[in-house]
Amino acid sequence: MALAAAGLVWLNQDDSDAPVASREAFLEVMSGPGRDEPVTLDTTVYLPEATPAPAVLLAHGFGGSKRSVESDARELARRGFVVLAWSARGFGRSGGRIGLNDPDYEVADASGLVSWLARQPEVSKTGADDPVVGVTGGSYGGALSLLLAGVDKRVDALVPTITYNDLGQALIPNSATTGEVAASPAANPYQPAGVFKRSWAGIFFAAGMGGGGLADPTSEAAEEGSDEDDSSGGAAGTADPNAAAAAAEAQQAGPGAQGAPEGQGSRPDQERGACGRFTDAVCRAYTQVATTGQADEATTRLLARVSPASVTGSITQPTMLVQGEQDTLFGLDQADASARQISANGGPVKVVWYTGGHDGGKPGATLRGQIADWFDFHLRGRGADPGTGFEYAVQGALRPQGSPSVRTVTAPSYPGLDGGQPVRRTELPLSGEAQTIVNPPGGNPSSISSMPGLGQLIAGSSRLAGRLAVDLPGQVARFSSPAQTQQLLIAGAGTVRVRVAAQPGVPQAPGGAVLFAKLYDVAPDGTRTLPGSAISPLRVPELPADGTPVEVTVALPGIVRPIESDHVVELAITTTDQAYAVPPTAAAYTVSLAEGATVGVPVVPGTRSSSAPPAFPLIGIGVVLLVVAAAVALGAVRRKRADQHDPALADVPLVITGLAKAYPGGLKAVDDLTFRVDKGQVLGLLGPNGAGKTTTLRMLMGLIQPSDGEIRVFGHRIRSGAPVLSRIGSFVEGAGFLPHLSGRANLELYWAATGRPADKAHFAEALDVAGLGGAVERKVKTYSQGMRQRLAIAQAMLGFPDLMVLDEPTNGLDPPQIHQMREVLRRYAATGRTVVVSSHLLSEVEQTCDHVVVMHRGRLVASGGVDEIVAGGGEATFRVDAPDKAAEALSALDGVRSVEVDGTAVHADLGELPRSSAVAELVRAGVAVEQAGPKRRLEDAFLQLVGEGSGT
């Protein structure tokens, strides 16, 4: 078993296709505002089988290194791209400090790498210093893709995944506006002065300090058709060897490693200082926002400078935006903003929302394939045009086993883009009184919506994380929609108008009211699910102190969620959230719905992949059934052909011709056996143990296949299941009864199994012959050997078969019973039927049978009437009163030889002379003959025959 398992494991490991050559190198590029600051980057080039080929720059996520994208890089190289992966400055063994994708540093570095690619012979080019190159990456690397494409026009296509558009809004979001929200599905107003997302920001800062691992998803998200459960997908966060290796590497490399790529990476952590490998500007900005909870002027400027939003206005290259539906860090709104900005320049944009994200998982195999398809088409015109549509994955109901079902909805375009239709919104009426909610002093305890960085670990399934949401009483206002009458598929961010008012007389927090809006899916049993664990923080500044409400439009978080019928959509507004920096000042607000307020949830109709059963297994089942049907039909045809009948032998009960049975190993149990049994005979098959008698009878019953020769019963050739077997009643080698049934039930069931009419069975006569009396009602397992034997013979007699075959029928019977058996067989044969009896006992055959076939070592030794065999030859014995005188008289006769005297007996070979003549001669000679008979009993004949048989 262990071996089998090991074999399977080994087989499974062996699935990497074509080998991918890779080349590691430290490259020096010039960056900085004046492009005069050298930095050493740790790079690996992965080469496809065929070159020159288009190149793909593959950027890693925050806290990772080039090693964390190795498997993706190899996969892309196998798709035929030259892939360049590198550790960004400040990560891995690269030099420099982390500038958060600063245009003068990280982006300039990448631009330098594009120039380097232009000099490589393996890379196809469109001109001098202009390679055919695409760029992709996840999270931090995705932002780099956008920024690079914005500033370096040599980039021909890009696929940024799970990344940000505006880092300021990602870390300090504000979703409330007094104005309008854009007409795209996941639009967010991106108002300034938001609420600090301290958990994620902290995790990211830690990742930059060397504590990578939590910042980027490691497991793969569920995809359509995938059925693996979470436990096998590496969801444990550390299961991705590349990520773990990258984290370890990040911890080894210290900030002093700039320009000194090797050998110095072992500085202890405490020497890094509070800023780690961050640039001083980034470090200052983080410290500022983390301590105050709000971004100052300098921080805002820094975040704006490093955000892709600063350059998306100049991206015109084909862009495929991949964003996760399980992402509390960079939500769907970030890709939404990028899509709007890029399409405004006329850049072709395709948007894909998949089931993963920073809380869910990285793109699965199918989505990675789509990314490669994008580059295939846009870098070298290969494959079908992926188009500029919009695809979003819908997770269906969770399955008890395996991952939830996923289906993909495809819309022709992303709604609300430049020149396109605005997104359709379904307005759900909400109801609920004005409610007063309280921000506790210190902002603690607080509601829980998500566990940043741990989303994948929770309960083994990020998809259950939606159930973790906890709202604290007194801190939450709820407004409900009526129950749905049919399924409503929300795809994007809803909007709702709410009024917030200060409690008169209660002091307010400086900076305005901080609130969090969420949209729950409430099942009929009251279970609340927070789709995507996503919430929208909002800050409403300057509430009038007299309690006059301020009306704002809130953009809810972008989600994809089917709301089933009978479910209720609930808007919840809380004062606190664990993952955000909440003002420590105690405050109370009254929250109510605006006049006639509805929540407008985006609905994006599209074509759905069906959830019908997959076709392949269904076709497979059909094919298998056809094959089985064909096999059955073939068997029937073969059986039909097997019938053979010889009408000349129709009245002969049994003819055996040239019968042989050889077993593997050369042992011949039966060899060239030929004999014939005529009607009315009681034939004895005589031979010592091992002579092949039972084997012959088994062949006669079709139980074993002869290796040569044939058996015909009433002219029909015997094979297994030949109908003529129904004319044979048999008892071969022991009784066979169901031990748990009575003797009578056994016989009745036996007869029922033959399918013949019950009145033909003659149970009464057969049971009377067995003579079991009342014992027939007892279970057979209580029977003695003899009783079973008698019952078995009764069974053989059922229906009075024309040929009865009994194997050693008198075994285990006592002499009176043997005598009765002889009588039974003789008189049975007298009714015109035939009996074949095998035995190793001479006396039995002599007494029972009229014909005998003697077998020895599988061969026929003699056959004929019992009398002929016994009386064969002229030897006779005379019991007389005067032996000497008798011997003299006999010797005087013509032709009489070898006269011997043995006590009162005289033996002589009479030759042709009849015994009666010899007796007359003796009487004439005055000898009183007491007895005259053949000298040999069957025993002598048998022994002589066997002796001859063994001699040949």
Partner 1 sequence: MSDDERGQRSDHGRTASGGSYKVAGTAPGESVTTVYTDPGAIDGLERAAAGEHTGFDADGSVEGFSVTRTLPLRVELVRQLRRRRTQLLLGFLVLLPFILWAAFEFGQDAGNRRSGGFVDLATASAPNFVTFVLFAAGSFLLPMIVALFFGDTIASEASWSSLKYLLSMPVPRHRLLRQKAMASAILSLLALVLLPLVALLVGMVFYGTGEAVSPTGDAIPFGDSLLAMAGSVGYIAVNLLWVAALALFLSVVTDAPLGAVGGAVLVSILSQILDQITALGGLRDYLPTHFSFAWSDLISTDIDWTNMTEGAFSAVVYAAVFGLLAARRFRLKDVTS
Site for partner 1 in 591-650 (CB under 8 A): 611-614, 616-618, 620-621, 624-625, 627-628, 631, 635, 639, 643, 645
Tell me the closest approach of the beta carbon of residue 382 to partner 1, in angstroms.
28
Tell me the closest approach of the beta carbon of residue 70 to partner 1, in angstroms.
19
Distances (CA, A) of 950 to 673, 685, 946: 15, 18, 6
Question: Which positions from 231 through 290 interact with partner 1, judged by CB under 8 A?
Answer: 231-232
- Which span sits near partner 1 by CB under 8 A: 302-310, 311-319, 543-551, 702-710? 702-710
- Which span sits near partner 1 by CB under 8 A: 89-97, 263-271, 309-317, 400-408? 400-408
Distance from C-alpha of 890 to C-alpha of 883, rounded to nearest angstrom: 10
Residue 893 corresponds to which tokens in the numbers above?
């006769």
Q: Which is nearer to partner 1, 127 or 773 (CB)?
A: 773
> How is residue 653 annotated by DSSP?
S
Question: Which positions from 178 through 237 interact with partner 1, judged by CB under 8 A?
Answer: 225, 227, 231-232
Tell me the closest approach of the beta carbon of residue 376 to partner 1, in angstroms.
25
What is the Cα 805 distance to its own chain's centre? 54
Tell me the closest approach of the beta carbon of residue 529 to partner 1, in angstroms.
8
Q: Which is nearer to partner 1, 432 or 715 (CB)?
A: 715
CB distance 175 to 188 below 8 Å = yes
In sequence order, the 6+-apart residues with CB closer than 8 A to the CB of 379 are 54, 56, 81, 132, 133, 134, 156, 157
Tell me the closest approach of the beta carbon of residue 815 to partner 1, in angstroms.
12
Binding-site string for partner 1 from residue 771 to residue 800, where x marks contact by CB under 8 A and - marks none: xxxxx--------x-xx--x----x-x-xx
| Tokens 């984290």 sit on residue | 247
Q: Which is nearer to partner 1, 760 or 937 (CB)?
A: 760
Distance from C-alpha of 677 to C-alpha of 683, rounded to nearest angstrom: 7
Evaluated on CA atoms 750, 752, 753, 759, the torsion sign reads positive
Tell me the closest approach of the beta carbon of residue 831 to partner 1, in angstroms.
4
Q: Which is nearer to partner 1, 673 or 713 (CB)?
A: 713
Tell me the closest approach of the beta carbon of residue 102 to partner 1, in angstroms.
41
Question: Which positions from 341 through 380 interact with partner 1, judged by CB under 8 A?
Answer: none
Question: Which positions from 13 through 32 interact with partner 1, judged by CB under 8 A?
Answer: none
Q: Which is nearer to partner 1, 281 or 669 (CB)?
A: 669
Q: Which is nearer to partner 1, 153 or 740 (CB)?
A: 740
Tell me the closest approach of the beta carbon of residue 425 to partner 1, in angstroms.
24
Distance from C-alpha of 653 to C-alpha of 724, rounded to nearest angstrom: 10
Question: Which positions from 506 through 535 interact with partner 1, judged by CB under 8 A?
Answer: 523-525, 527, 529
Distance from C-alpha of 780 to C-alpha of 788, rounded to nearest angstrom: 7
Question: Which positions from 802 through 841 interact with partner 1, judged by CB under 8 A?
Answer: 802, 816-817, 820, 823-824, 827-828, 830-833
Amino acid (one-letter) located at 588: A
CB distance 518 to 572 below 8 Å = yes
Q: Which is nearer to partner 1, 295 or 735 (CB)?
A: 735
Q: Which is nearer to partner 1, 736 or 947 (CB)?
A: 736
Selected from 206, 244, 594, 704, the binder of partner 1 by CB under 8 A is 704
Return the CA Rg of the chain.
50
In sequence order, the 6+-apart residues with CB closer than 8 A to the CB of 281 are 99, 302
Evaluated on CA atoms 785, 786, 789, 795, the torsion sign reads negative
Question: Which positions from 449 through 508 interact with partner 1, judged by CB under 8 A?
Answer: 464, 467
Distance from C-alpha of 439 to C-alpha of 446, rounded to nearest angstrom: 9
Burial of 760 (0-12, 13-18, 19+ CB in 10 A): exposed
Tell me the closest approach of the beta carbon of residue 829 to partner 1, in angstroms.
10
Q: Which is nearer to partner 1, 504 or 620 (CB)?
A: 620
What is the Cα 50 distance to its own chain's centre? 36
| Tokens 């960085």 sit on residue | 453
Q: Which is nearer to partner 1, 505 or 755 (CB)?
A: 755
| Tokens 């000497």 sit on residue | 884
Distance from C-alpha of 772 to C-alpha of 365, rounded to nearest angstrom: 76
Question: Which positions from 707 through 726 interact with partner 1, judged by CB under 8 A?
Answer: 713-716, 720-726
Q: Which is nearer to partner 1, 296 or 768 (CB)?
A: 768
> How many residues in the shown chain lie near partner 1 by CB under 8 A?
121
| Tokens 């004929």 sit on residue | 864
In sequence order, the 6+-apart residues with CB closer than 8 A to the CB of 874 are 909, 910, 911, 912, 913
Tell me the closest approach of the beta carbon of residue 240 to partner 1, in angstroms.
15
Which one, of 144, 552, 558, lies nearest residue 337 by Cα? Answer: 558
Tell me the closest approach of the beta carbon of residue 809 to partner 1, in angstroms.
13
Selected from 441, 544, 739, 864, the binder of partner 1 by CB under 8 A is 739
Distance from C-alpha of 531 to C-alpha of 558, rounded to nearest angstrom: 9
Binding-site string for partner 1 from residue 403 to residue 442, where x marks contact by CB under 8 A and - marks none: -xx-------------------------------------
For 701, the 3-state DSSP assignment is coil
Tell me the closest approach of the beta carbon of residue 491 to partner 1, in angstroms.
17
Tell me the closest approach of the beta carbon of residue 311 to partner 1, in angstroms.
42
Selected from 81, 286, 737, 942, the binder of partner 1 by CB under 8 A is 737
Beta bridge partners of 593: 498
Centre a 10 Å sphere on the Cβ of residue 732 and count the other Cβ atoms it contains. 19
Tell me the closest approach of the beta carbon of residue 675 to partner 1, in angstroms.
20
Question: Which positions from 547 through 586 interact with partner 1, judged by CB under 8 A?
Answer: 562, 564
Q: Which is nearer to partner 1, 21 or 631 (CB)?
A: 631
Burial of 565 (0-12, 13-18, 19+ CB in 10 A): exposed
Tell me the closest approach of the beta carbon of residue 20 to partner 1, in angstroms.
21
Selected from 80, 237, 360, 702, the binder of partner 1 by CB under 8 A is 702
Tell me the closest approach of the beta carbon of residue 686 to partner 1, in angstroms.
22
- φ, ψ of residue 810 to 5 degrees: the values are -100, 5
Selected from 19, 387, 396, 445, the binder of partner 1 by CB under 8 A is 396
Which one, of 493, 333, 494, 342, lies nearest residue 417 by Cα? Answer: 342
What is the Cα 212 distance to its own chain's centre? 34
CB distance 408 to 392 below 8 Å = yes
Distance from C-alpha of 676 to C-alpha of 363, rounded to nearest angstrom: 82
834-839 and 133-138 strand pairing: unpaired
Q: Which is nearer to partner 1, 308 or 692 (CB)?
A: 692
> How is residue 18 annotated by DSSP?
S
Tell me the closest approach of the beta carbon of residue 803 to partner 1, in angstroms.
10
> How is residue 212 annotated by DSSP?
T
What is the Cα 117 distance to its own chain's centre? 44
Q: Which is nearer to partner 1, 411 or 769 (CB)?
A: 769
Checking phi first, is residue 289 left (phi over 0); if not, alpha (psi -120 to 50) or beta?
A: alpha
Q: Which is nearer to partner 1, 438 or 797 (CB)?
A: 797
Selected from 745, 841, 893, 901, the binder of partner 1 by CB under 8 A is 745
- Which span sits near partner 1 by CB under 8 A: 4-12, 110-118, 170-178, 198-206? 4-12
Question: Which positions from 751 through 770 interact with partner 1, judged by CB under 8 A?
Answer: 752-757, 760, 762, 764-770
Q: How far apart are the first and last CA of the chain?
A: 54
Residue 592 corresponds to which tokens in the numbers above?
């109510």
Q: Which is nearer to partner 1, 733 or 940 (CB)?
A: 733
Question: Which positions from 90 through 149 interact with partner 1, judged by CB under 8 A?
Answer: none
> How is residue 359 annotated by DSSP?
T
Selected from 135, 342, 735, 869, the binder of partner 1 by CB under 8 A is 735
